[in-house]
C-alpha cells in the first residue's frame, strides 16, 4: 500500500482530481463535442449552442450550479468542468 506523507494529502487529492477530469481531446469527449470552455464552442458545428449553456446549468450535471466541476452520467466516474459544454446539453428545469 502506498504511504502518503503528512502534508501531501491535498497534493494527492489535486492529482487524483486532475486525472479524473474529462479532457476535451479524449474519444468520448470528441464524440459529444465536449469543450472545457463553453464560450469557445464552434457554433458553425453546433448551431444550437449558446454561450450561456454550461455544464453547471445542465440537467445532467451532478454538482451544484456554483461548482467548478462535477459528475456527468455521460462520463461515468469522471468530472466535467462547470464552465464546460457538450452537444447533449439539456437546460436544467
Ligand atoms: S451532458 Fe451536460 S453536464 Fe454532461 S458534459 Fe454535456 S453539457 Fe456538461
Ligand 1 pocket check for 89: Cβ under 6 Å: yes
For the domain that residue 48 is a member of, what is the CATH number? Answer: 4.10.490.10
| Residues spanned by the domain of 54 | 23-93
- Per the domain annotation, does 2 fall within a domain? no
Q: What's the DSSP call for residue 85? A: B
Give the cell for residue 31: 464524440
How many Å apart are CA 56 and CA 49, to the nearest integer? 15
Predicted model pTM: 0.83
Q: Using the mean position of ligand 1's atoms as its centre, give its distance from the Cα of residue 1 in Å.
A: 35
In short, whether 36's Cβ falls inside 6 Å of ligand 1 is: no
Classify residue 16: in a domain, yes or no: no
pLDDT in tens, 7-65: 567 877 777 667 799 999 999 999 999 999 999 999 999 999 999 999 999 999 999 99
Q: Look at residue 8 in the predicted model and tell me its pLDDT.
A: 64
Overall domain count for the chain: 1
**How much distance in Å is there from the Cα of 2 to the middle of ligand 1?**
34
C-alpha cell at 77: 466516474
Residue 6 domain flag: no
Amino acid at each position: 500500500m502506498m504511504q502518503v506523507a503528512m502534508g501531501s494529502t491535498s497534493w494527492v487529492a489535486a492529482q487524483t482530481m486532475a486525472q479524473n477530469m474529462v479532457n476535451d481531446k479524449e474519444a468520448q469527449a470528441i464524440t459529444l463535442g465536449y469543450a472545457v470552455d463553453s464560450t469557445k464552442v464552434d457554433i458553425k458545428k453546433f448551431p444550437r449552442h449558446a454561450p450561456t449553456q454550461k455544464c453547471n446549468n445542465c440537467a445532467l450535471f451532478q454538482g451544484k450550479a456554483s461548482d467548478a466541476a462535477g459528475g456527468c452520467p455521460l462520463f461515468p466516474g469522471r468530472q466535467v468542468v462547470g464552465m464546460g459544454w457538450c452537444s447533449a446539453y439539456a437546460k436544467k428545469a
